[in-house]
A and B are shown apart, each in its own frame.
Chain A
Amino acid sequence: MKKPKAIILRGTGTNCDIETLNSFRYVGAEPELVHINQLLAGERRVLDYALMAFPGGFSYGDDISAGKIYAVKMAALAADFEAFVRDQRPVIGICNGFQILVKTGLLPENKANAQVSTLYTNDCGHFLAKWVKVKINKKSPCLFTKGLPDEIELPIAHGEGKFIVEDGKVLDSIIARNLHAMTYSENPNGSMLDIAGITNTAGTCFGLMPHPERNFFAWQHPDRPAAARETTAAGYQFFKNAVDYVS
């Protein structure tokens, strides 16, 4: 069977691209790292791929605010990105990637350049890297979290992860449609309703602050039970689900 092509989008300051590439390759995709400059120059087209990932990092230094400059650069390609999401091809944004998806407006409503929510400075005021427990919303349409247990552990590593929706109606609608696919068991950053990740209505476009690629194998966990050394961990499922969906 032909391997599905995954586009791993880079830019200046993207720095979780290699581990995201490794993760997609491990679950059977054919990932390619593509710099946004290549898209803007027309050397690559997003619609030539089956899967899309926005990895973590500090795109353009996160100057102004996290993911902002990258999101602004994407504006010229808005139609392509909207079409990709409309086609229900899987998109995952991790950490900085989630910030980018939210700041373009691709999440939650697939309207590029119409931002309805944001990820703001953590309540503690600075970057925080630690392992957290997150709850999986079983009613969510999110395809990436299918088959996961009720609660899993993942590491977070961000300074701006506080999910905020200004308009109460938008928030109600997110909840009503179960777009909040993942919530923190103990809120580390002040996110509204403890939200750690949200999806679009189709469940195909998903952004989350925690890093599934950092709990991909059991050996990546800080508490190392000897029995789990050989196995994959919760993070593996996110990538596997995406590849299964398009295969």
Chain B
Amino acid sequence: MIIEIWTKEKYAGNEEASFIGRLAHAGLKIEAARLSRLYRVDAEFTRDEFDKLGSSLLTDPITERYSLSPGKTGLKDAYRVEVWLKESVTDVVGESVKEAITGVMGKAPGAVRFGRAYYVRCDSEVKLKHAVTRTLVNAVVNKFKIEKV
């Protein structure tokens, strides 16, 4: 199960602006962007249990919301870039969240991995890929995919 955490739109201006600026610096002009955090929780939990994780642990109730069906954004005609650490690389955040989940649920998930998703409206996937490899990901430690949403 992948739990996606969103900053509510009214609080997301800064992170979006800084992201757009960073990619502009790498030569990509972006019309609009949305950002989210992803937690992949490998566990046989029920949907209610995942809901509990989303609401009581993984989100800030004031500024964030969560979704159990990743990829849904208001952004039309956008690309979705999903970035994870390679499985061979120790995921420090994932480990720490796994411990926290064990505390909250009273049972340990198999593994937890932390990733990020970027929703980007821009004119070219090729340029996007180029900019992403120059700024957001390092092929040595990251894996990523780009898809149209």
* A residues in contact (CB < 8 Å) with B: 60-61, 63-65, 68-69, 72-73, 103, 115-118, 120-121, 123, 125, 164-166, 190
Cβ A68 vs Cβ B57 within 8 A: yes
Interface locus among B23-31, B91-99, B138-146? B91-99
- Are A61 and B93 CB-contacts (below 8 A) given A68-B57, A115-B62, A164-B62? yes
Instruction: Check A63/B97 contact, CB under 8 A, given A72-B57, A123-B14.
Output: yes
Q: Is the CB of B96 within 8 A of A117?
A: no
Cα A73 to Cα B104 in complex, Å, equals 8
Q: Does B90 contact A (CB under 8 A)?
A: no
Q: Is the CB of B61 within 8 A of A164?
A: no
Shortest distance from the beta carbon of B90 to any chain A beta carbon, whole Å: 13
**Inter-chain contact total with CB atoms closer than 8 Å:** 55
Residue of A64, A65, A103, A165 with highest tally of chain B CB at under 10 A:
A64
Q: In terms of DSSP, what is the predominant structure of the interface of chain B?
A: helix
B60 in contact (CB, < 8 A): yes
B74 at the interface (CB under 8 A from A): no
Please give, as numbers and ranges, the residues of chain A lying within 8 Å of B103 by CB-CB distance: 69, 72-73
- Whether, in the assembled complex, B11 has its beta carbon less than 8 Å from a beta carbon of chain A, the answer is yes
Query: 3 shortest A-B CB distances, which residue pairs?
Result: A118-B62, A63-B96, A69-B100
A68: chain B residues at CB < 8 Å are: 57, 60
Q: How far is the CA of A84 from the CA of B63 in the complex (A)?
A: 28
Contact yes or no, B96 A164, CB < 8 A = no
How far does the alpha carbon of A139 sit from the alpha carbon of B74 in the complex, in Å? Answer: 45
Known: A68-B60, A166-B62. 12 other contacts (CB 8 A): A60-B96, A64-B57, A69-B100, A72-B57, A73-B103, A115-B61, A115-B62, A121-B14, A121-B15, A164-B11, A164-B63, A190-B14
Residues of B within 8 A of A (CB-CB), count: 19
Is the CB–CB distance between B100 and A117 below 8 Å? no
Residues of B within 8 A of A (CB): 11, 14-15, 18, 56-58, 60-63, 92-93, 96-97, 99-100, 103-104
Contact yes or no, B60 A120, CB < 8 A = yes
Q: Which of A118, A165, A190 sits near B60, CB closer than 8 Å?
A: A118
Q: How far apart sit A120 and B61, CA to CA, in the bound complex (Å)?
A: 11
Set B11, B18, B99: member contacting A125, Cβ < 8 A = B18
Judging by beta carbons under 8 Å apart, are B100 and A60 in contact? yes
Smallest CB-CB separation from A122: which chain B residue?
A: B14
Interface CB pairs A-B, < 8 A, 14: A60-B100, A61-B92, A61-B93, A64-B97, A65-B60, A69-B100, A69-B103, A103-B60, A115-B61, A115-B62, A118-B63, A120-B11, A164-B11, A165-B62
Docked complex Cα distance between A103 and B59 (Å): 11
Whole-angstrom CA separation of A61 from B60 in the bound complex: 16
Contacts of B57 in A (CB 8 A): 64, 68, 72
- Nearest CB in chain A: distance from B2 CB, A: 16
Bound complex: CA A118 to CA B99 (Å): 23
Most A-side CB within 10 Å, residue of B60, B63, B92, B93 = B60
- Give A192 to B18 CA distance when docked, in angstroms: 20
Task: From A65, A73, A118, A125, give the contact of B14 (CB < 8 A).
Answer: A125
The residue that A120 contacts in the complex, of B56, B63, B92, B93, with Cβ under 8 A, is B63
B62: which A residues are within 8 A, CB to CB? 115-118, 120, 164-166
Contacts of A190 on B, CB cut-off 8 Å? 14
CA distance A179 to B148 in the complex (A): 48
CA gap between A63 and B103 in the complex, in Å: 14
Shortest C-beta distance, B99 to chain A (Å), equals 8
Report the minimum CB–CB distance from B84 to chain A (whole Å).
16
Chain B minimum-CB-distance residue to A102? B62
CA distance A164 to B61 in the complex (A): 11
